[in-house]
Amino acid sequence: MATLLHIDSSVFPAAGSASRAVAETFRKAWEEQHPEGTVIYRDLATDPVPHLTADAHTAGFADPSTHTPEQAAVFAERLKLIEELEAADAVLIGAPMYNFTIPSTLKAWLDNVILVGRTAGDSPSVKGTPVTVVASRGGSYAPGTPREGYEYVQNYLSAVLGDMLGLEADFIVPELTMAPQVPAMAELVPLFESSRERAHQDATVKAKTLAERLAA
């Protein structure tokens, strides 16, 4: 049976988070299609992983037999995260845009699981694993919009997930999520509602398609 690694990074609870809501739609559709599968869940907001330290970094390039006690302890934590990623047949990541980029908690997770010579490099151990990213944002950074040049979520994650880890990255982008709360964005509410509906529809379709593909 296939295993889904589901990671949320929004600081807001489900009721106030577009990325959590859409990711939950994806997960439910996945579980309905694949009821006997396994879901590994990490909420990086409530249970953040450690930011990369010098000991954790240098331990990744040293023979384990030479690790100091400090290196051994922190590297063991990195290995847990790496092994979770390697065990996954598919990955789901909620990645809201904060100040033009991803939450620092998600960056910390990435820094821990990117290990040159294992998950990254010439032959990544996770190469080809499909990853679906729910990249929500309060405004719009789509091509042709005034803030197109400030899109550092999809661009960054495409490079890290696709080029470094060799994952098969796909994105769902709920945008204009601040429109209902910001008076100056009131005229954009219909576009927000359309984007939200499309994101949930995409999540359902992509989850079912992926589950069917992995079950084949």
How confident is the model over 110-120, as pLDDT tens digits? 999 999 999 99
pLDDT digits (tens, 9 = 90+) for 77-86: 999 999 999 9
pLDDT recorded at residue 156: 97
Q: Considering the chain, what percentage of its residues have pLDDT values greater than 70?
A: 100
Q: Write down the H helix ranges in 68-157.
A: 69-87, 104-113, 154-157
What backbone torsions phi and psi does residue 93 show, to the nearest 5 degrees? -125, 125
- Who wins on pLDDT, 98 or 215? 98
Output the pTM of the full model.
Answer: 0.95
Q: Which two tokens stand for residue 188?
A: 């954009």
Q: Find out whether 26 and 203 touch, Cβ atoms under 8 Å.
A: yes
pLDDT surpassing 90 at residue 64: no
pLDDT digits (tens, 9 = 90+) for 166-192: 999 999 999 999 999 999 999 999 999
Strands across the sheet with 130-134, in order?
38-43, 3-8, 90-94, 130-134, 168-172
